[in-house]
């Protein structure tokens, strides 16, 4: 396995914090930096084992905690019951997610509107935004083209009319 060049950024962060940069931490970082997907811990573990790294799950979790703290990696929860991780290098640092309810595909997009909302929120509520999460769930073009439709099982009488 080839160590990803960005791993040295992480090593630098660790040294700044007075923490040792270990083989395991670098291996986890390399896997995350080498993918543009949103990886689960299971995904990461699988890739490490493929590359002949014998590494404990606990160590992966501990390395991810440091990666997130360094701000080189972002943690996501798309409501699947587990977390996903994506690195923040060579891509838009701030972006939002479209998540297809049919195929699970994740599409990233950027929007200045959110910045505008954050400004408004500070103004109107005195609330100082630190970070946000905008996820839109729906059907991607491919699934729509394939004729997929979303089931609708709510109360037949719309709430608004009550």
Partner DNA sequence: GTCCATGCAAACCTTTTGCACTATA
Partner DNA sequence: TATAGTGCAAAAGGTTTGCATGGAC
Nearer to DNA, 3 or 40 (CB): 40
- CB 144 to a copy of itself: min, Å: 6
Site string for DNA, 57-76 (x = CB under 7 A): xxx-xxx-x-----------
**Sole binder of a copy of itself in the list 131, 146, 147, 161 (CB under 8 A):** 131
- CB 154 to DNA: min, Å: 17
Nearer to DNA, 29 or 139 (CB): 29
The answer to whether the beta carbons of residues 127 and 121 sit under 8 Å apart is: yes
**What is the b/e burial string over 29-67, where b = at least 16 CB atoms within 10 angstroms of the residue's CB?**
bbbbbbbeebbbbebbbebbeeeebebeeeebeebbebb
Site string for a copy of itself, 21-60 (x = CB under 8 A): ----------------------------------------
Query: Quick one: 114 exposed, middle or buried, by C-beta within 10 A (0-12, 13-18, 19+)?
Result: middle
- CB 22 to DNA: min, Å: 4
Find the helix or strand (DSSP H, E) in which 74 lies: strand 73-76
Residue 31, token pair as written in the block = 């896997």
**Binder of residue 150, out of DNA, a copy of itself, none (CB less than 5 to 8 A by kind):** a copy of itself
Closest-CA residue to 99 (of 76, 72, 82, 81):
76
**What is the binding site for DNA (CB under 7 A)?**
15, 18-25, 40-42, 54-59, 61-63, 65, 81-83
């Amino acid at each position: 396995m080839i160590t990803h060049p960005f791993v040295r950024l992480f090593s630098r962060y660790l040294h700044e914090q007075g923490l040792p940069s270990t083989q395991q931490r670098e291996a986890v970082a390399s896997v995350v930096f080498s993918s543009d997907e949103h990886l689960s811990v299971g995904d990461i573990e699988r890739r490490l084992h493929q590359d002949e790294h014998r590494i404990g799950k606990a160590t992966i979790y501990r390395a991810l905690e440091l990666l997130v703290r360094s701000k080189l990696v972002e943690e996501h929860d798309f409501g699947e019951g587990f977390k996903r991780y994506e690195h923040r290098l060579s891509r838009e640092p701030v972006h939002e997610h479209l998540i297809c309810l049919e195929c699970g595909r994740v599409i990233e997009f950027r929007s200045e509107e959110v910045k505008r909302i954050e400004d408004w929120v500070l103004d109107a509520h005195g609330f100082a935004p630190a970070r946000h999460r905008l996820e839109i769930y729906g059907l991607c073009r491919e699934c729509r083209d394939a004729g997929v439709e979303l089931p609708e099982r709510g109360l037949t009488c719309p709430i608004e009319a009550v």
